[in-house]
Amino acid sequence: MSSTRRRFLRYGTLTAVAATARPLTAAERTRAFGANDRIRIGLIGCGSRGVTAHMKAAKDHAAEANVEVVAVTDPWRVAAEEAAARAKEWFGRKADICRSYRDLLARSDIDAVMIASPDHAHATQLEATARAGKHAYVEKPLANRMPELLRAVDAVKEAGIIVQCGTQLRSQPGVVGARRLMKSGLLGRASRAEQIRNADRPYWLSYLKRDVRAEDVDWAEFTMGLVDRPFDEVIYSAWYGVYEFSQGPVPQWGVHFLDTIHFILDLDCPESCVCMGGTYTWKDEPRFTAPDQVHALWRYREGLMVSYTTNFGNGFGNTTRILTDKGVMKLDRADPIYTAEGGIRRDGSIRGENKVEPVEHPDHFLDWFQSLRSGRAPNAPIEAGYKHAVASILATEAMEQGRRMKFDPAARRILPG
């Protein structure tokens, strides 16, 4: 056992409750939730997203959904301890700190988990969650490589757990309204969807921390064997900028756009993709290997193209829109609008600038909590995560190989094409 591991084991309440009987299946867990039964949640990943979004959502909906966070885990001791203390403030008792996500999943007193770990860990931890028979809310992207994606999706389907993927835009009333509007036929047929999402600096620079000490981090738990290098506080804190852990803007920012377009237009996995990217502006940051520019273009069997581009050398020109034969839907803000601009078959039925009528919908976390009670599918089920992950991985592989890549849906394989 390494000295880092021994030091890490010293902290917190290390709990691995062994089940004395056969663990409940996911379906049995759902059926067992009575109206007055509290749903006990474990938090995997105690960074800003895990605490200020996931755990805070549990706190905000605790009374209505009858949920609480009872255990947490994170490779960084400091983050785990802070999350446990926050749980005491929000839920009335300090959450137990588990050494590893494996120990948290081994507990028989946890019904569901929230996975807010770094991108490279999502699929592996979701697969383990499914095999433990617990429900999951998992951040996007669902996976960064096809083998891990297939293992996670197959495990989820085999276990029958309820999974909500963390593409929360599809639960916004404006986006739900946009989906309804497109289904109405008023805007006609979509030919292209595109997003330009630029900034004047890479987002990963804002995550840099210089106060993370090696003795406080379980480095092996964090890397999960992905790289073989000594502890580096810059890489640990700003992993978004390290290609092995993140693959850059498409899996991180682009996936939100992709899932939103899939939802609004009811698309399946893309047919093919071309993608180019590289570092053009931030060459003085040698530890960071994620591209500061990327442009991906997907072709869909439904008969349209989808384009995503990011430039961290200039923040101008941001836009998100769906172009149709009767006009355009602009999704640049929470309240989308639509006009007849550019429509080659505009017929006078759309006049001026119109706000998309919102459709009320529970926020993304509440939607998941309600699904756990009812057993219904949540708004971003595992199938939605599969689609956004396939699209993202297609772009990654196209960029890496410098050629068009295609997806074979029957074989579930990405091939040169």
Q: What is the pLDDT of residues 262-312, one digit of tens each?
A: 999 999 999 999 999 999 999 877 789 999 999 999 999 999 999 999 999
Judge whether residue 77 has pLDDT over 50.
Answer: yes
Judge whether residue 3 has pLDDT over 50.
Answer: no
Homologous superfamily in CATH for domain 3-168: NAD(P)-binding Rossmann-like Domain (3.40.50.720)
pLDDT band for position 2 (cuts 50, 70, 90): very low
3-state secondary structure the chain: CCHHHHHHHCCCCCCCCCCCCCCCCHHHHHHHCCCCCCEEEEEECCCHHHHHHHHHHHHHCHHHHCEEEEEEECCEHHHHHHHHHHHHHHHCCCCEECCCHHHHHHCCCCCEEEECCCHHHHHHHHHHHHHCCCEEEECCCCCCCHHHHHHHHHHHHHHCCCEEECCHHHHCHHHHHHHHHHHHCCCCCEEEEEEECCCCCCHHHHHCCCCCCHHHECHHHHHCCCCCCCCCHHHHHCHHHCHHHHCCHHHHHHHHHHHHHHHHHCCCCCCEEEEEEECCCCCCCCCCCCCCEEEEEEEECCCEEEEEEEECCCCCCCEEEEEECCEEEECCCCCCEEECCCCCCCCCCCCCCEECCCCCCCCHHHHHHHHHHHCCCCCCCHHHHHHHHHHHHHHHHHHHHCCCEEEECCCCEEEEC
- Give residue 131's pLDDT: 98
- Give residue 284's pLDDT: 78
Tell me the C-alpha to C-alpha distance, in Å, between residue 314 and each of 218, 247, 293.
37, 21, 10
**One-letter identity of residue 46:** C
Judge whether residue 139 has pLDDT over 50.
Answer: yes
Judge whether residue 18 has pLDDT over 80.
Answer: no
- Give residue 5's pLDDT: 37
The proportion of the chain whose per-residue pLDDT surpasses 90, expressed as a percent, equals 87
- Give residue 25's pLDDT: 59
CA angle 316, 321, 327 (to 5 degrees): 130
Asked if 17 and 104 touch (Cβ cutoff 8 Å), the reply is no
The dihedrals phi and psi of 273, each to the nearest 5 degrees, come to -155, 145
Judge whether residue 72 has pLDDT over 50.
Answer: yes
Question: What CATH code is assigned to 170-359+382-416?
Answer: 3.30.360.10
Reported as a single tens digit per residue, the pLDDT across 304-343 is 999 999 999 999 999 999 999 999 999 998 899 999 999 9
HSE (side-chain half, CA atoms, 13 Å) at 275: 35
pLDDT band for position 26 (cuts 50, 70, 90): low
| Rounded CA separation 113/40 (Å) | 8
HSE (side-chain half, CA atoms, 13 Å) at 328: 14
Judge whether residue 362 has pLDDT over 90.
Answer: yes
Asked if 253 and 295 touch (Cβ cutoff 8 Å), the reply is no
Reported as a single tens digit per residue, the pLDDT across 163-188 is 999 999 999 999 999 999 999 999 99
Mean pLDDT taken over the chain? 92
Burial-class residue 59 by CB neighbours within 10 Å (0-12, 13-18, 19+): middle
Query: Which residues touch 206 (CB under 8 Å, ≥6 apart)?
Result: none
Strand arrangement of the beta sheet that strand 190-196 belongs to: 354-355, 337-339, 327-330, 319-324, 190-196, 304-311, 293-300, 272-278, 405-408, 413-416
The domains of the chain are located at 3-168, 170-359+382-416
Q: Which is nearest to 381 in space by CA: 158, 145, 138?
A: 138
